[in-house]
Amino acid sequence: MPRLLSALRRQPVDRPPVWIMRQAGRFLPEYRATREQAGSFVELCRSPRLAAEVTLQPIRRFGLDGAIIFSDILLPLAPLGVHFEFTDGGGPHLAQPLDDPRSWQRLSPPPAWAGTEFVAEALGLVRSSLPEEVAVIGFCGAPWTLACYLVEGRTSRDHAATKAALYAHPAEFRALLDALADAMAAYLGQQVAAGAQAVQVFDSWAGTLSAADYRRHVVPALARLLNAVPTVPRIVYVGGGGHLTPVLAPLACEAVSVDWRCPLAVAAASLPGKAIQGNLDPAVLLSSPGAIRSATAAMLDAAPTVGYVANLGHGILPATPVENVEAFLDVIRGRT
Ligand code: CP3
């Protein structure tokens, strides 16, 4: 079994498996070349051949333990009638944010699996190109994080509009989260059928809510999504979610991915029976190989001995030098 899947199932491994969030991205010259060829970011995602190619690039260069399919959390919202634009450097943008309950009710659930076939096709290409020991990872956005993008229409620092909508209309907001959970469950089902061997649910903005509000308003929809995923290990990424780990403990997932603000030992202690993934600060990879080696060794020293997947605490930054990634990986691969 690929060591990534063994670790997610808390089985013994020869060394910690490692992959990197946003590993197919702008820090790689070969990604920038394929992106140029594709025209736009969305065209790159929607071309199964090119999406498969950029998914494989970091595996060829670094020999990672997992290949995360190249796409974006906002693309499977298109079949629901929501079309984000991706502006260069400016991030995703929605011309008409969905900031009131009436606009949420207009979201139309697609017929099962329609409108994201390009992701399934790319997954098939990736699985058939990889050796057995590299696991293919599918992903989606968590209902809360997707709702943040729908309501704000772009990346936000404080999510004031989303929180205002939640506190003003809790029942309708909860229905929105449930609708997103159902759509993402179908989408992950499609990815598993196409070859994904593990899935990660990105709740990048989990940390903006208190533990009490996250438990009350968000966890039911997250549980609904996780309960509907068929038979593969489920990883939940919680950005800024150090205070949320006790709330995540009852969820049906095999692993929780935390960032650098949440000590690995704290995560492991509050999530009995789950694997832990993370959590080096991506900014450390902008420093020097020496500083990276000692920070990575410290991360491994703090990690649980069973059920651990090495990763960053968030996506790798576009300015990261490739040799700094090598330093990070060398330390992890040196550990037995
Ligand atoms: O990890 C991987 O290598 C797989 C690909 C992947 C992308 N986005 C590609 C991408 C994954 C897993 C995502 C998830 C995603 N997308 C998240 C959750 C993870 C996180 O970072 O918190 C979020 C919040 C988004 C929404 C999104 N997409 C933003 C905020 C941006 C702009 C920021 C940026 O880096 O430019 C995107 C665009 C995006 N998604 C890019 C990539 C490679 C950059 C597009 C480009 O090439 O210009």
Average pLDDT over residues 36-46: 95
- Which residues are registered as beta bridge partners of 312? 280
Q: Is the pTM of this model over 0.85?
A: yes
26 lines ligand 1 (CB under 6 A): yes
Buried b (16+ CB within 10 A) or exposed e, 32-60: eebbeebeebbebbbbbebbbbbbbbbbe
Whether the CB-CB separation of 64 and 325 falls below 8 Å is answered with: no
**Of 304, 275, 248, 230, which Cα lies nearest the Cα of 5?**
275
**Of 122, 186, 178, 123, which Cα lies nearest the Cα of 146?**
178
Ligand 1 atom with the smallest distance to the CA of 25 is 43
Q: How far apart are CA 159 and CA 167, in angstroms?
A: 12
Ligand 1 atom with the smallest distance to the CA of 23 is 3
- Which residues are registered as beta bridge partners of 255? 235, 275
Helices (H) and strands (E) in the chain, counts: 15, 9
The percent of residues in the chain predicted with pLDDT above 70, rounded, is 100
Whether the CB-CB separation of 209 and 243 falls below 8 Å is answered with: no
Q: What is residue 109's predicted lDDT score, i.e. its pLDDT? A: 82
pLDDT digits (tens, 9 = 90+) for 201-232: 999 999 999 999 999 999 999 999 999 997 99
pLDDT digits (tens, 9 = 90+) for 128-137: 999 999 999 9
pLDDT digits (tens, 9 = 90+) for 279-296: 999 999 999 999 999 999
Q: What is residue 336's predicted lDDT score, i.e. its pLDDT? A: 59
Average pLDDT over residues 57-77: 98
- Residue with tokens 């990346």, as numbered in its chain: 155
Q: How far is the CA of 306 from the centre of ligand 1 (A)?
A: 30
86 lines ligand 1 (CB under 6 A): yes
Neighbour order of strands in the sheet with 255-258? 66-68, 135-141, 198-203, 234-238, 255-258, 275-280, 308-312
Average pLDDT over residues 237-265: 98
Whether the CB-CB separation of 272 and 278 falls below 8 Å is answered with: no
Pocket test for ligand 1, best of 19, 22, 180, 314 (most atoms within 8 A of CB): 22
- Please spell the DSSP secondary structure of 25-42, one letter per residue: STTSHHHHHHHHHHSSHH
Q: How far is the CA of 132 from the centre of ligand 1 (A)?
A: 27
Average pLDDT over residues 50-66: 98
Q: How far apart are CA 27 and CA 162, in angstroms?
A: 31
Q: How far apart, in Å, are the Cα atoms of 183 and each of 112, 140, 243, 325?
A: 8, 10, 28, 35
- Residue 152 scores a pLDDT above 90: yes
Q: How far is the CA of 73 from the centre of ligand 1 (A)?
A: 7
pLDDT digits (tens, 9 = 90+) for 96-149: 999 999 999 999 887 778 899 999 999 999 999 999 999 999 999 999 999 999
Q: Which residues are catalytic?
A: 22, 26, 35, 72, 149
Q: What token pair was written down for 246?
A: 């006790």
23 lines ligand 1 (CB under 6 A): yes
Ligand 1 atom with the smallest distance to the CA of 145 is 24
